[in-house]
Amino acid sequence: MSELSVNHLLGIKYLNKQDIQLIFETADHFKEVINRPIKKVPSLRDITIANLFFENSTRTKLSFELAEKRLSADVLNFSSSQSSVKKGETLIDTVNNILSMKVDMVVMRHPNPGAGVFLSKHVKASIINAGDGAHEHPTQALLDSYSIREKLGDVSGKKVVIVGDILHSRVALSNIFALRLQGAQVMVCGPKTLLPKYIDKLGVKVETNLLKALNWCDVANMLRVQNERMDISYFPSTREYTQQFGVNKELLDSLNKEIIIMHPGPINRGVEITSDVADSKQSIILDQVQNGVAIRMAVIYLLASKIKQ
Amino acid sequence: MNILIKSATILDSKSEFHNTTQDLLVENGVITQIASNIKNPKNYREIAFENLHISQGWFDSSVCFGEPGFEERDTIKNGLKTAAASGFTAVAMNANSNPVIDSNSDITFVNSKGAHHPVTLLPIGALTECSKGEHLAELFDMNTAGAVAFYDYKKPINNPNLLKIALQYASNFGGLVCSFPQENNIAGHGVMNEHITSTTLGLKGIPALAEELQVARDLFLLEYAGGKLHIPTISTAKSVALIREAKKKKLDVTCSVAIHNLYFTDAVLTDFNTHFKVLPPLRIQSDVDVLIEAVKDGTIDMVTSDHNPMDIEHKKIEFDHAAFGTIGLESAFAALQTIFTTKKTIDVLTRGKSRFGLEQTPINIGNKLNITLFNPDLRYTFSAKHILSKSKNAIFENTSLKGSVYGIISNNQMALNN
């Protein structure tokens, strides 16, 4: 099989195992490309991509833009920290206005869950979800799995714990879907206030003791506490959060094995992980960033090849 | 109005002709003869339809018609036309207009808009001024003008003391107080039921707990204060249990359930279709099963379409921003028939009238004719062409349903489809 089963990348839950395999194999190729002296291929010279960011983003936006440019696509950037609704224009209108400039593909980040799904039903373009509220962030989950695969050889059978604010996290949800699809065991760990009540129904283990979770896992994916998504206080203070759910070097060294530390960024140093952990040899945080470009190149390339058909 | 209804199967447990097929002679709006083969005495208009069934006219205790203020959603005129075509001879209209219906003159306005129509329009007044939940509206004055109940539509009464006072005050004149069952602090900014589907979609959930806490609170208040309480649109199994207990204690409480909460579960929301965004939210199968049983055993007093037309600008947007609500009058009968037998469907569609000040009108000789005409057996897929409301937000769109309505005869007028 050499093409994706989907025309959009709206979430991991819409993919199958073969899709992920294909994306990884394609990313392998692009990872080789971006490490060449000339880091660019002419594959998408006839494709125009709009990056629509209705929510603040630095690294995801840069990563997508770089991926698009490395594929020689024409790139259009639109950022608005305010939602389109507040400005009085609907999302469909905003996007259709941009599409009327003959855009083939839309990469969208949006604060509302399902915004990408909604758009895919109402506009004619291939949509890549770059994060929609607390729903999904599929390229992040793909690059996370890709990084685990790179480090440990395979995702299947590995034990991965996702630590922190699961309730507000699209990264957690996409990771759960992606890891389970590939046969990994998944645990979530955090204060009960930040774990969705029915998260266990997604087939994940639930743990509120960080030490137990770390002793269980091969990989710990540390999430940032998303204060900006919280309408109420879910724990008394950051200090208390760190006391219970922060990973420091001492804790890491006390484990009976060497686990891998991941983080989707941006890191709150000293909160979810300390600097010495983030910068340790067990951390693959910067590998994740580099793999992000390769994965996004792969996704864009594979979806673009469906447009061309 | 003088007519001869031919060969109608009467479904009315209060009628001595229940479960029989008869002709009905109606003169000046009053049934003068019911017999198996009546000859047309004076060339009266004959009413005959294929597989014609008739029952007492149907009642819906919760509809919204937009007017005044939200005419882009619907108007009272078109709403009543929709109700008639959907088989309803009486509807209680909520006060969620702009301005909110919260005064004697507002009630009078609604009454004037609904006058001289085959469908009886029963106005519900707001419980508090502008439905803000702060000060009681002039309940007695609205009652005098014809308000049948008092309800801040879909807005919980956050202050328990306000509900206590409302129950006590309205009991002076037998006023019916309605309280929307949702504890807003627990519900938060939820947009659907909290369960596995909300978790999968990353949408904020409204826990069943939010409803049950409020129901429990309201029943405690009712026990203390006395009065008449109606809890519109419950949606969870525990709410049923709480109300069942309260009824055992002889508290004067009634409740309703929205038809879509008897039909759908939250599993239908997987593709973020805003037509399924309703309040209370669609729950899980175990809730649905208990709700259906509670309708059958009478713990839930009445079903409602919870008809709420919403213009496309409030629906064709991101799920978080979309308005709650669905239209439901057009699909009410046929949807119920997929859940209950025809007999039970008719039973639930004619319940609750007396709670909202309406008389029962059994199909017997000497009574005024107030009937719905229908064919219980026709199967079809509900689609846009069946929608009469100005707004098209139909939760039952593309659903396979059973039963069609021929129209109503009520208030000495006929409203027949085609």
CATH number at residue B33: 2.30.40.10
**Same domain? B146 vs B274:** yes
Residue with tokens 């002039």: B138
> In angstroms, what CA-CA distances link A288 with A148, B10, B32, B68, B115?
9, 72, 85, 57, 70
B207/A199 CB distance under 8 A: no
Which of A140, A189, A132, A143 shows the shortest CA–CA distance to A166? A189
Of B218, B306, B311, B347, which one is the catalytic site residue?
B306
B320/A202 CB distance under 8 A: no
- Among A96, A117, A122, A176, the strongest candidate for a mutation testing the B interface, having the largest count of B CBs within 10 A, is A117
Q: List phi, psi (to 5°) of B54.
A: -130, 150
Residue B373: partners with Cβ closer than 8 Å, 6 or more residues away:
B5, B8, B47, B49, B52, B53, B54, B87, B405, B406, B407, B408, B409, B416
Q: List phi, psi (to 5°) of B80.
A: -65, -40
Q: Judging by beta carbons within 10 Å of its beta carbon (0-12, 13-18, 19+), is residue A81 exposed, middle or buried?
A: exposed
Closest-CA distance, B108 to chain A, in angstroms, reads 36
Residue of B nearest to A88 (CA): B313
Annotation says B306 is catalytic: yes
> In the predicted model, what is the mean pLDDT of residues B282-302?
98
**Of B334, B356, B378, which one is at a domain's C-terminal end?**
B356
CA count, 13 A, side-chain hemisphere, A225: 23
* CATH of residue B217: 3.20.20.140
Which of B301, B278, B332 shows the shortest CA–CA distance to B84? B332
Rounded CA gap, B364 and B232, in Å?
32
Give per-residue pLDDT as tens, B323-348.
999 999 999 999 999 999 999 999 99
Give me the numbers of helices (H) and strands (E) for chain A, helices first please.
12, 9
pLDDT at A229: 64
**Same domain? B191 vs B228:** yes
**Same domain? B193 vs B325:** yes
User: Which positions in chain B touch A226 (Cβ < 8 Å)?
Assistant: none
User: Which positions in chain A touch B207 (Cβ < 8 Å)?
Assistant: 197
Instruction: List the domain range (segments joined by +) for residue B22.
Output: 3-54+364-416
Lookup: tokens for A247: 């990973």
Chain B contacts in chain A segment 160-199 (CB below 8 A): 170, 173, 196-199
Give per-residue pLDDT as tens, B303-316.
999 999 999 999 99
User: Which positions in chain A touch B284 (Cβ < 8 Å)?
Assistant: none
**Same domain? B169 vs B311:** yes
Contact with chain B for residue A5, Cβ under 8 A: no
B319/A134 CB distance under 8 A: no
Of B202, B207, B317, the CB nearest to A133: B202
Max distance between CA atoms of chain B, in angstroms, equals 68
**Same domain? B378 vs B236:** no
Lookup: tokens for B135: 């000060």
Residue of B nearest to A201 (CA): B196
**Same domain? B310 vs B373:** no
B318/A114 CB distance under 8 A: yes
Give per-residue pLDDT as tens, B213-241.
999 999 999 999 999 999 999 999 999 99
Lookup: tokens for B59: 């009642």
Lookup: tokens for A164: 């922190």
**Same domain? B139 vs B35:** no
Angle between helix B285-297 and B237-248 (nearest 10)? 30
DSSP state of A308: H
Of A92, A122, A135, the CB nearest to B201: A135
Of B189, B199, B317, the CB nearest to A201: B199
**Same domain? B38 vs B75:** no
How do the residues of chain B divide into helix, strand and coil, expressed in percent and rounded to 5? 35, 25, 40
Contact with chain B for residue A104, Cβ under 8 A: no
- Read off the pTM: 0.94
B201/A122 CB distance under 8 A: no
CA count, 13 A, side-chain hemisphere, B142: 30
- What percentage of residues in chain B have a pLDDT greater than 70? 100
Q: Which amino acid is at A111?
A: P
For residue B249, pLDDT beyond 80 = yes
Q: What is the mean pLDDT of chain B?
A: 97
A85/B318 CB distance under 8 A: yes
A132/B316 CB distance under 8 A: no
Q: How far is CA A178 from the centre of its chain?
A: 10
**Of B331, B356, B381, which one is at a domain's C-terminal end?**
B356
CA count, 13 A, side-chain hemisphere, B286: 5
Rounded CA gap, B230 and A229, in Å?
37
List B371's β-bridge partners, or say none: B56, B409
Contact with chain B for residue A90, Cβ under 8 A: yes
Of B196, B202, B313, the CB nearest to A113: B202
Of A85, A118, A198, the CB nearest to B272: A118
A112/B320 CB distance under 8 A: yes
A110/B201 CB distance under 8 A: no
pLDDT at B418: 75
Closest-CA distance, B196 to chain A, in angstroms, reads 6
**Same domain? B348 vs B369:** no
User: Which positions in chain A touch B271 (Cβ < 8 Å)?
Assistant: 117, 121
pLDDT at A84: 52
Pick left, alpha or beta for residue B214 (phi over 0 → left; psi -120 to 50 → alpha; otherwise beta): alpha
Closest-CA distance, A237 to chain B, in angstroms, reads 21
**Same domain? B103 vs B27:** no
Rounded CA gap, B14 and B371, in Å?
13
Rounded CA gap, A215 and A226, in Å?
25
CA count, 13 A, side-chain hemisphere, B85: 15
Q: List phi, psi (to 5°) of B265.
A: -115, 170
Rounded CA gap, A89 and B62, in Å?
33
**Same domain? B237 vs B101:** yes
* Residue B98: CB atoms within 10 Å: 12
Closest-CA distance, B199 to chain A, in angstroms, reads 7
A259-275 burial code (b ≥16 CB/10 A, e <16): bbbbbbbebbeebbbbe
* Residue B414: CB atoms within 10 Å: 18
pLDDT at B160: 98
- SS3 sequence, B298-358? CCCCEEECCECCCCHHHCCCCCCCCCCCEECHHHHHHHHCCCCCHHHHHHHHCCCCHHHCC
Lookup: tokens for A157: 């059978």
Q: List phi, psi (to 5°) of A30.
A: -70, -30
Rounded CA gap, B233 and B230, in Å?
10
- Among B185, B200, B206, the strongest candidate for a mutation testing the A interface, having the largest count of A CBs within 10 A, is B200
Strand A159-163, strand A185-189: pairing: parallel
User: Which positions in chain B touch A90 (Cβ < 8 Å)?
Assistant: 313, 316-317
Lookup: tokens for B63: 């509809």
pLDDT at B43: 93
**Of B356, B379, B400, which one is at a domain's C-terminal end?**
B356
Q: List phi, psi (to 5°) of A286.
A: -75, -25
**Same domain? B140 vs B260:** yes
Rounded CA gap, B142 and B108, in Å?
9
Question: Based on the structure, what is the number of domains in chain B?
Answer: 2
Rounded CA gap, A4 and A22, in Å?
7
A85/B317 CB distance under 8 A: yes
Which of A182, A47, A18, A203 shows the shortest CA–CA distance to A128? A47
Q: Low-confidence residues of chain A, pLDDT below 50?
A: none
Per this entry, what is the length of chain B?
418
Of A111, A136, A201, the CB nearest to B196: A201
